[in-house]
Amino acid sequence: MSLIIFLGVVLILAILYMIFRVSNLITIAKGPRDERGGTANKVNAALFIVFMVGGLGLFFWYSVTYFDSYDLPLASEHGKLTDKLFWITMVISVAAFVIISIVMFVFIYQYQYREGQKAKYYPDNHYLELAWTIIPAIVLALLIFTGLRAWNDITGPAAKDAEVVELIGQQFAWTARYPGVKDGVLGKNNYKLIDAANEFGLDLKDKYSFDDFKSLELHIPVDKEVLLKIRAKDVLHSVFLPHFRVKMDAVPGMPTQFKFKATLTTQQMRDKLGNPNFNYELACAEICGRGHFSMKMIVVVEDSETYENWKASQEAWLKQNPDYLKQVPDALKEAAMIKAGIEKDPGSTVAVAND
Ligand SMILES: [Cu+2]
């Protein structure tokens, strides 16, 4: 297939070259004439202006018409700041883009070939050089340093009482791991322990792993800091929570994190939008393979009471996979069963250990 595409490209290039040769020969055959003059020049110059007006017109038409589809309602605290930075950057870049486009195309039109017109010799101008070096430098420095401050804040250490949730990306699904209500601490994990059932690579020698549970929905409390610990099992993925202005790559072998605070519950957002079917969504924002499009996860934001109840109602991973009790050291077996909520088998000979 690649060979056919390659041959196709070569063929097209050969055809273009032949057309170029033939048109050259025709020009020569037609005999000498002023190659730079004629109407072609005027037509081309005018077409540039048409292209500029059409292009800028489409750009603004699209930006305004579809504004709502890329400016989603905001539901996080830091989002106010990042939105502000985004729009300041956007206004400056669009202004620069429009000015440069207009100057570029108007100059092409203005300085098209005309009989008897001579180019002006204008080697340099120190003031101009200074102006277009210093002004962009100041503007960019301001943008970068304010952005960097916001970035450091978002990716910095989370509060001690923050809700910690682990998000794992794999082709082509997201899974979440919660620390469990008994200890509230995520157990250790190790990629070498990953197998068909132990998809987290949960290290069952670690006592904090016993009550960890898995979820295929991301539940988070409102008005409380949430720390997402992000990893990937195969290729690059990217955690994208558009309403919360959260975006962070999931990189195999390099855990990343992002902290944020949701400000509107799912229900509040439904009321605000007047859409009873609305759901927050986590989408993968890194083209990660054929099933990339399907890599989404429903996000549920709820008040702290509902959230705590939901957490308490979830079954520990170890309870769902009791075979893995074998990997728990004997001294911790009793604690593991209590934490995971596994009923003790009356006939069992599990050694009783004091935790
Ligand atoms: Cu992905």
- DSSP code at position 112: S
- pLDDT on residue 346: 54
Q: How far does residue 227's CA lie from ligand 1's centre (Å)?
A: 20
* Token duo for residue 311: 């957490």
**How far is the centre of ligand 1, averaged over its atoms, from the C-alpha of 97 (Å)?**
32
CA 296 – ligand 1 centroid, Å: 9
Q: Distance between CA 329 and CA 333 in Å, rounded? A: 6
Q: How far is the CA of 303 from the centre of ligand 1 (A)?
A: 29
Q: Which tens digit of pLDDT belongs to each residue from 166-199?
A: 999 999 999 999 998 878 788 888 888 888 888 8
- d(CA 249, ligand 1 centre) in Å: 10
H/E stretch holding 213 reads strand 213-215
- Distance of CA 239 from the midpoint of ligand 1 (Å): 8
Percent of the chain with pLDDT over 90: 59
Decide: 210 and 336 in contact? Cβ < 8 Å: yes
Q: How far is the CA of 292 from the centre of ligand 1 (A)?
A: 5
Query: For 15-63, how does the pLDDT look when each residue is reduced to its tens digit (9 = 90+)?
Result: 999 999 998 888 888 766 655 556 788 888 999 999 999 999 999 999 9
SS3 316: coil
| Residue 289 Cα to ligand 1 middle (Å) | 7
State the burial class of residue 209 (Cβ atoms within 10 Å of its Cβ: 0-12, 13-18, 19+): buried
**pLDDT tens digit sequence for 65-124:** 999 888 899 999 999 999 999 999 999 999 999 999 999 999 999 988 887 888 888 888
* CA 71 to chain CA centroid, nearest Å: 15
**CA 104: distance to chain centroid?**
33
pLDDT confidence tier of residue 345, bands split at 50, 70 and 90: low
Distance 295 CA to ligand 1 centre (A): 6
Cα–Cα dist 88/102, whole Å: 21
Q: How far is the CA of 294 from the centre of ligand 1 (A)?
A: 9
Query: Do 191 and 252 form a contact (C-beta atoms < 8 A)?
Result: no
Using CA atoms, how far apart are residues 55 and 88, in angstroms rounded to an integer?
Answer: 23
Distance between Cα 87 and ligand 1 center (Å):
27
Query: How many angstroms does the Cα of residue 216 sit away from the middle of ligand 1?
Result: 15
pTM of structure:
0.75
CA distance 299 to 301: 7
Confidence check: pLDDT of 219 > 90: yes
Enter the tokens of residue 202. 């949960």
Distance 69 CA to ligand 1 centre (A): 22
What pLDDT is recorded for position 353?
44
Joined tokens for residue 164: 């910690």
Mean pLDDT value across the chain: 88
Rounded Cα–Cα distance for residues 140 and 82 (Å): 16
With tokens 């055959």, the residue in question is 29
